[in-house]
Amino acid sequence: MNIGFDLDGVFIDKPPFIPKWGIELLYRERSKSLSYRFPGKPEQLLRKLSHKRMFRPLIKKNIDVIINPKRQNKHAFFLISARFSFLQKETENLLSSHRLKELFDATWFNVSNMQPHLFKENVIKKLTIHRYVDDDLELLMFLSNCYAHIKFFWLNKKKKKVLAKNLFAIQNLSDVFR
């Protein structure tokens, strides 16, 4: 089975003391449709700073969940991050310093600066992903409408529930393997 994972909010935590709504305010366009902002130079510098290892700790419990199936070669794991190209160096440094790259069969990054949901849609199709995990509910709702045959998992701290026929809210990454 091919399983895709987002990076931020799944394996790398968000910066401390910044609420999720604050991050979404910086990342999303203020429109009714799903759209993400490409930041100007000052904001790019701020984001680069916030992507240093000391501000982006591992979510160890999630890494521990995928280590055993990976060792047993039961599944192919793909890291699919829609971070824009200006964060490429910071992302590579985080993956190296946290030794994350070895957990995945391949890593895919948005170096062409596509809209994140469109980038992930393309990669999921290209890799024939069977299950995909992310913490961005709006993005997952978009993807679940594009691919009815794929199971999508919204990793969140809220109660487990079914959101759509192929979109599930989960609290623990281990639920992806059930």
pLDDT in tens, 99-113: 899 999 999 999 999
Angle at 140 between CA 139 and CA 141, to 5 degrees: 90
Report whether 124 contacts 143 (CB < 8 A). yes
Q: Assign 23 to helix, strand or coil.
A: helix
Distance of CA 54 to the CA centre of its chain: 19
Provide the pLDDT for residue 24: 61
Task: Give the number of other CB atoms < 10 A from CB of residue 18.
Answer: 12
Distance of CA 149 to the CA centre of its chain: 20
Kindly tell me the burial class for residue 117, based on how many C-beta atoms sit within 10 Å of its own C-beta (0-12, 13-18, 19 or more). buried
Question: Where does the chain have alpha helices with state H?
Answer: 20-27, 41-50, 60-71, 88-97, 116-127, 137-146
Task: Give the number of other CB atoms < 10 A from CB of residue 105.
Answer: 14
pLDDT in tens, 83-102: 999 999 999 999 998 889 99
Residue 27 clears pLDDT 70, i.e. is over it: no
- Domain CATH code at residue 154: 3.40.50.1000
Q: How far apart are CA 101 and CA 31, in angstroms?
A: 35
Of the listed ranges 22-36, 62-76, 78-92, 157-171, the least confidently predicted one is 22-36
Mean pLDDT value of segment 122-143: 96
Report whether 75 contacts 3 (CB < 8 A). yes
Residue 70 clears pLDDT 70, i.e. is over it: no
Mean pLDDT value of segment 124-129: 97
Provide the pLDDT for residue 168: 92
Report whether 14 contacts 59 (CB < 8 A). no
Identify the CA nearest to 44 among candidates 107, 89, 10. Answer: 89
- Enclosing domain of residue 142: 2-177
pLDDT in tens, 140-171: 999 999 999 999 999 987 766 667 889 999 99
Lookup result for tokens 């240093």: 52
Provide the pLDDT for residue 151: 97
Q: What is the mean pLDDT of the chain?
A: 88
Provide the pLDDT for residue 129: 98
Mean pLDDT value of segment 130-140: 95
Residue 172 clears pLDDT 70, i.e. is over it: yes
Provide the pLDDT for residue 20: 63
Q: Which residues pair with 161 in a beta bridge?
A: 169
Structurally, the chain folds into a number of domains equal to: 1
